[in-house]
């Protein structure tokens, strides 16, 4: 190792060598890697507060260090020499700093490589409206969105503006003209960047995260005025996504938001990652809603709970629920039955499907 090599870069090299997705650093414990979803502790001594502080100081600017000291939390992206790009969150806990870094693959995989369905190609090329990609942290939302933005880049002459915290995937202009703005580096906040984004003449806008009612309201307004807007939410299912959206807003605003969604929401894609049967990787499990007259009617009736039933009977339109996707993954040999049943929101129904029994609106078929 070169004498002047930063300690944090050495750890990032180890992260890449083990093909880990994340590395976690905490005072009083050795570094921990997340490999294929599993936490693995490195054989190393416990980190001291001075170790973590030195590593943090070696990569932050004075301004970033000031923000971290004052607020106690900082997001940033970092390019490690000979390794690549990492997305970092540094935060204070129990009076000392911890660091979590996610390794970002600079190569943007295609939908086929990601085992994502063809309907996403169609959704990516919508001309207007709101598209939400949802799921918990670490479920692959960013990679799915990157594949969608890259598909637009390769197929549509347009202007794309991304607003990210921090920037993860870097795009090179193909057919599209792309500007990427990073919170904290190029603009102070999502709210400020969204207020000015329409004046930047975009056709497509990517919002890294819908964090509050102001962000969501501005995104809906952009969709209403003819833009294609992509955003993310922390929700597990399509039906839960509607509840999550309504909970962002005061009760008196929810009727208006429901009406706006009825006319401007185009799709909700919910995603999680499952370990493959050979345990050599992970594969996305998804639930997809595409707005159609039936779903619009349910929204008008404030009957979002029945949208799950629409997903199950609308496969020809590219829709599916998690159980249908899990069933396909098991049939394809990508995941085990045990994994599928563990991940299912309705394991009894999935077990029936695996026995060849399927429920339809008119009864049992199979």
Q: State whether 173 and 300 are in the same domain.
A: yes
Q: State whether 123 and 46 are in the same domain.
A: no
pLDDT digits (tens, 9 = 90+) for 4-28: 679 999 999 999 999 898 999 999 9
Q: How far apart are CA 141 and CA 342, in angstroms?
A: 21
pLDDT beyond 50 at 363: no
Range of the structural domain that residue 130 is part of: 119-365
Q: How far apart are CA 234 and CA 215, in angstroms?
A: 14
Q: State whether 252 and 177 are in the same domain.
A: yes
Evaluate whether residue 54 is within a structural domain.
yes
Can you state the percent helix, strand and coil of the chain, rounding each to 5?
Answer: 40, 25, 35
Q: How far apart are CA 13 and CA 16, in angstroms?
A: 5
Q: Please identify, among 73, 104, 135, the residue that sits at the C-terminal boundary of a domain.
A: 104
With contact defined as beta carbons under 8 Å apart, do 103 and 84 qualify? yes
Q: State whether 233 and 310 are in the same domain.
A: yes
pLDDT beyond 50 at 361: no
Which among 162, 138, 308 has a CA at the least distance from the CA of 231?
Answer: 162
pLDDT digits (tens, 9 = 90+) for 271-298: 999 999 998 889 999 999 999 999 999 9
Q: What is the pLDDT at residue 360?
A: 54
Q: How far apart are CA 312 and CA 89, in angstroms?
A: 38
With contact defined as beta carbons under 8 Å apart, do 306 and 314 qualify? no
Evaluate whether residue 78 is within a structural domain.
yes
Evaluate whether residue 111 is within a structural domain.
no
Q: What is the mean pLDDT of residues 126-131?
A: 97
Evaluate whether residue 280 is within a structural domain.
yes
Evaluate whether residue 113 is within a structural domain.
no
Tally the domains of the chain: 2
pLDDT beyond 80 at 105: no
Q: Please identify, among 104, 129, 148, the residue that sits at the C-terminal boundary of a domain.
A: 104
Q: What are the tokens at 140?
A: 């692959």
Q: What is the mean pLDDT of residues 134-139?
A: 90
Q: Model confidence at 166, in pLDDT bands (50, 70, 90)?
A: confident
Sign for the pseudo-dihedral over CA of 79, 80, 81, 84: negative
127 torsion bin: left (phi>0), alpha (psi -120 to 50), beta (else): alpha
Evaluate whether residue 201 is within a structural domain.
yes
Please name the helix (run of DSSP H) or strand (run of DSSP E) that holds residue 219, with its range, or none.
helix 213-224
Q: State whether 128 and 155 are in the same domain.
A: yes
pLDDT digits (tens, 9 = 90+) for 227-262: 999 999 999 999 999 999 999 999 999 999 999 999
Q: Please identify, among 104, 135, 164, the residue that sits at the C-terminal boundary of a domain.
A: 104
pLDDT digits (tens, 9 = 90+) for 309-318: 999 999 999 9
DSSP structure class, residue 310: H
Q: State whether 192 and 316 are in the same domain.
A: yes
Q: State whether 16 and 131 are in the same domain.
A: no
DSSP 18-83: TT-SEEEE-BTS--EEEETTEEEE-SSPPBPHHHHHHHHHTT--HHHHHHHHHHSEEEEEEEETTT
Sign for the pseudo-dihedral over CA of 50, 56, 61, 64: negative
Q: What is the pLDDT at residue 184?
A: 76
Q: How far apart are CA 34 and CA 190, in angstroms?
A: 29
Q: State whether 146 and 273 are in the same domain.
A: yes
Q: What is the mean pLDDT of residues 146-167?
A: 94
pLDDT digits (tens, 9 = 90+) for 24-83: 999 999 999 999 888 999 999 999 999 999 999 999 999 999 999 999 999 888 999 889
Q: How far apart are CA 120 and CA 45, in angstroms?
A: 46
Mean pLDDT value across the chain: 92
Q: Model confidence at 365, in pLDDT bands (50, 70, 90)?
A: very low
The beta-strand segments (E) located in 113-203 are: 129-134, 159-164, 177-182
Collapse the DSSP code of 228 into the 3-class scheme (helix H, G, I; strand E, B; otherwise coil) and give the result. strand
Q: State whether 92 and 239 are in the same domain.
A: no
Q: State whether 240 and 336 are in the same domain.
A: yes
pLDDT beyond 50 at 362: no
Evaluate whether residue 114 is within a structural domain.
no
Q: State whether 161 and 88 are in the same domain.
A: no
With contact defined as beta carbons under 8 Å apart, do 229 and 207 qualify? yes
Q: What is the CATH number of the domain that holds 26?
A: 3.30.450.90
Evaluate whether residue 109 is within a structural domain.
no
Q: What is the pLDDT at residue 190?
A: 83
Q: State whether 68 and 209 are in the same domain.
A: no
Residues 6+ apart with CB under 8 A from 339: 274, 275, 277
Q: What is the CATH number of the domain that holds 243?
A: 3.40.50.300
Q: What is the mean pLDDT of residues 139-167?
A: 94
Beta bridge partners of 271: 286
pTM above 0.85, yes or no: no
């Amino acid at each position: 190792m070169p004498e002047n090599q930063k300690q944090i870069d050495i750890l990032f090299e180890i992260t890449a060598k083990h093909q880990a997705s994340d590395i976690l650093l905490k005072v009083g414990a050795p570094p921990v890697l997340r490999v294929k979803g599993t936490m693995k502790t490195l054989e190393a001594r416990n980190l001291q507060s001075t170790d973590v502080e030195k590593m943090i100081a070696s990569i932050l600017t004075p301004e970033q260090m000031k923000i971290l000291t004052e607020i106690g939390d900082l997001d940033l992206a970092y390019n490690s020499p000979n390794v690549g790009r990492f997305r970092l969150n540094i935060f204070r806990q129990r009076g000392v700093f911890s660091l979590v870094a996610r390794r970002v693959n600079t190569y943007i995989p295609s939908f086929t490589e990601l085992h994502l369905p063809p309907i996403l190609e169609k959704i990516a090329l919508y001309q207007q409206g709101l598209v939400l990609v949802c799921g918990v942290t670490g479920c692959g939302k960013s990679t799915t969105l990157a594949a969608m933005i890259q598909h637009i880049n390769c197929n549509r002459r347009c202007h794309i503006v991304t607003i990210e915290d921090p920037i993860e995937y870097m795009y090179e202009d193909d057919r599209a003209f792309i500007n990427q703005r990073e919170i904290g580096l190029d603009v102070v906040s999502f709210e400020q960047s969204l207020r000015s984004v329409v004046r930047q003449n975009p056709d497509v806008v990517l919002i890294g995260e819908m964090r509050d009612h102001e962000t969501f309201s501005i995104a809906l307004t952009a969709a209403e005025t003819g833009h294609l807007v992509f955003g993310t939410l922390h929700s597990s299912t399509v039906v839960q996504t509607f509840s999550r959206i309504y909970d962002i807003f005061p009760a008196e605003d929810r009727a208006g938001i429901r009406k706006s969604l009825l006319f401007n929401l185009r799709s909700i894609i919910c995603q999680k990652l499952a370990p493959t049967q050979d345990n050599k990787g992970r594969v996305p499990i998804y639930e997809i809603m595409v707005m159609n007259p039936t779903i619009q009617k349910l929204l008008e009736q404030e009957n979002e709970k029945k949208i799950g039933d629409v997903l199950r009977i609308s496969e020809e339109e590219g829709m599916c629920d998690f159980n249908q996707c899990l069933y396909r993954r098991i049939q394809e040999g990508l995941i085990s039955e045990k994994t599928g049943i563990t991940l299912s929101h309705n394991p009894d129904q999935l077990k029936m499907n695996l026995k060849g029994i399927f429920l339809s609106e008119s009864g049992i078929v199979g």
